[in-house]
């Protein structure tokens, strides 16, 4: 699964990378080194006039859920069988998103506590994970709640050293398909959700400081051999 990620790039860099428009008031971007479930974060969606930067809470709440308090809020959606799962199938057809990240964390199981690792694209920089989003509208007329989940797939050679799943990393062609605004045929879905080629990512062990969601700073990305500040 993908349980934490980094969104450190500022909005202008993301706009240059993903080509979105920014609505009135904008969306806060950057400075996030430990994004955790239920927190709000930027996503890129497709609208009538093209790509748009939006904000949503991490943990998808289906539009048909009766309440926000008791409904499951999955942060990840397994690529296998997405089209058949009630929680995700409508979003898969109509509400796909790019989740802009600068990396993500994964934990390797072992004796005692799990060991955290940081993954990023080789050389660093923002990249996109495949996401699904939904709008939940409460019956009492309160403000709608927008939420999202990150799609996961089988690991590539690099990710498999740490975990048996990895986020679906999109290249430029995959981003265009994922945000095409139309239902995708099975081969197109397979193209988008295949494990990233092994050379796409690099990873290293980091400090267990990342286990604390209240910690947020670039020191979380330091290799574990470096002294903690």
Residue 192 annotated in active site: no
- Give the CB-side neighbour count of residue 199, counting CA atoms within 13 A: 0
Token pair 């709608």 in the structure block, residue: 144
In the prediction, which pLDDT does 15 show? 95
List the structure tokens of 172: 């430029």
Q: Could you give phi then psi for residue 47, rounded to 5 degrees?
A: -125, -175
Three-state SS for the chain is: CCCEEEECCCHHHHHHHHCCECCCCCCCCCCEEEECCCCEEEEEEEECCEEEEEEEEECCCCCCCCCCCCCCCCCEEECCCHHHCCCCHHHHHHCEEEEEECEEEEEECCCCCCEEEEEEECCCCCEEEEEEEEEECCCCCCCCEEEEEEEEECCCCCHHHCCCCEECEECHHHHHHHCCCCCCCHHHHHHHHCCCCHHHEEEEEECHHHHCCCCCCHHHHCECCCCCC
Instruction: Please report the domains of the chain, with CATH numbers, ordered by start residue.
Output: 4-221 (3.90.1680.10)
Catalytic residue among 49, 84, 106, 154: 106
pTM of the model: 0.94
At a CB cut-off of 8 Å and minimum separation 6, what does 108 contact? 114, 115, 117, 161, 162, 163
Pairing state between β 50-58 and 145-153: parallel
Distances in Å between the Cα of 156 and the Cα atoms of 9, 199, 202 are 25, 9, 11
How far apart CA 15 and CA 159 sit, in angstroms, is: 28
Catalytic-role residue among 2, 29, 175, 192:
2
CA R_g for the chain: 17
Please tell me the predicted confidence (pLDDT) of residue 227: 45
- pLDDT of the residue at 229: 42
Ordered per-residue pLDDT tens for the chain, 229 residues: 789 999 999 999 999 999 998 766 679 999 999 999 999 999 999 988 899 999 999 999 988 877 777 778 999 999 998 999 999 999 999 999 999 999 999 999 988 889 999 999 999 999 999 999 999 888 777 788 999 999 999 999 999 999 999 999 999 999 999 999 999 999 999 999 999 998 999 999 999 999 999 999 999 999 986 444 4
Q: What per-residue confidence (pLDDT) applies to 129?
A: 98
Placement of tokens 């942060």 in the chain: 75
Give the whole-angstrom CA distance, residue 15 versus residue 37.
24
Whether 143 is catalytic is: no
């Amino acid at each position: 699964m993908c349980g934490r990620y980094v969104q450190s790039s500022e909005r202008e860099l993301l706009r240059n990378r993903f080509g979105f428009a920014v609505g009135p008031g904008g969306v806060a971007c950057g400075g996030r080194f430990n994004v955790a479930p239920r927190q709000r974060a930027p996503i890129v969606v497709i609208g009538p006039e093209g790509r748009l930067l939006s904000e949503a809470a991490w943990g998808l709440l289906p539009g048909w859920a009766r309440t926000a308090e008791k409904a499951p809020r999955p942060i990840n959606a397994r690529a296998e069988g997405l089209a058949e799962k009630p929680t995700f199938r409508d979003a898969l057809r109509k509400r796909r998103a790019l989740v802009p990240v600068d990396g993500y964390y994964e934990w390797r199981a072992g004796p005692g506590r799990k060991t955290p690792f940081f993954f990023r694209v080789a050389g660093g920089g923002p990249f996109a994970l495949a996401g699904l989003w939904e709008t939940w509208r409460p019956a009492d007329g309160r403000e709608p709640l927008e939420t999202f989940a990150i799609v996961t797939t089988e690991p590539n050679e690099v990710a498999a050293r740490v975990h048996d799943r990895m986020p679906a990393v999109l290249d430029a062609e995959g981003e265009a398909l994922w945000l095409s605004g139309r239902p995708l045929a099975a081969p197109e879905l397979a193209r988008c959700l295949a494990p990233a080629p092994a050379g796409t990512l690099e990873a290293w062990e980091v400090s267990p400081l990342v286990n604390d969601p209240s910690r947020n700073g670039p020191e979380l990305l330091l290799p574990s051999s470096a002294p903690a500040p």
